[in-house]
Structure 1
């Protein structure tokens, strides 16, 4: 009778080991799958970032090319401007 229970214990131990191995393989499969998907998503995000940087650089170049030349206007020192200033000084404030 002792031999029967030792054999049953060995079979039970083998069955538990087999079940644990199957569970471990299933867990490994899903973790590996999630890791691969995450890696692909990271690659896509890095590619999008690179494209956005190129677009930003292109937009900056376009904006700089279309930017009008800024010409500083010199203040008017003509006789009419001086007369207008004098007239404003003569008007009394209320």
Structure 2
């Protein structure tokens, strides 16, 4: 009976189980923390993207206002072909801008 129930192994088992649980807890904490850091980085990048899009929208509105003023001034001068060419060139510039969603 003494060979089956060795007192050294019985007292050592809770210590081993505790060590395994601590190691598993640390590994789990590492992956959760890593995912949290990546999520925070993505949020920061998305905030930067939103700020850049807002700046682009402000610039686009300024360009539209300037374009409207230029068209009004060209219509007053009476030339027909030049404003259409200028407006078409400005339309090509707007393609590269990202619209707000």
Q: Same fold (TM over 0.5)?
A: yes
Q: Is 1:61 aligned with 2:65?
A: yes
1:17-45 CA-partner distances (Å, limit 9, x unpaired): 01011111211221111011011001001
2:8 pairs, out of 4, 8, 11, with 4
Runs of at least 5 residues in structure 1 that lack an aligned partner in the other structure: 74-94
Computing the radius of gyration from Cα coordinates, the structure with the larger value is: 1
In the comparison of the two structures, how many residue pairs are matched?
Answer: 73
| Aligned residues: CA RMSD | 2.0
Match status 1:32 vs 2:31:
no
Which of 17, 20, 26 does residue 24 from structure 2 map onto? 20
Which consecutive unaligned segments of at least 5 residues does structure 2 have?
A: 81-101
TM-score of the pair, normalised by structure 2: 0.64
Q: Report 1 or 2 for greater relative contact order, CA contacts < 8 Å, sequence distance ≥ 6.
A: 2
The alignment's TM-score, normalised by the length of structure 1, stands at: 0.68
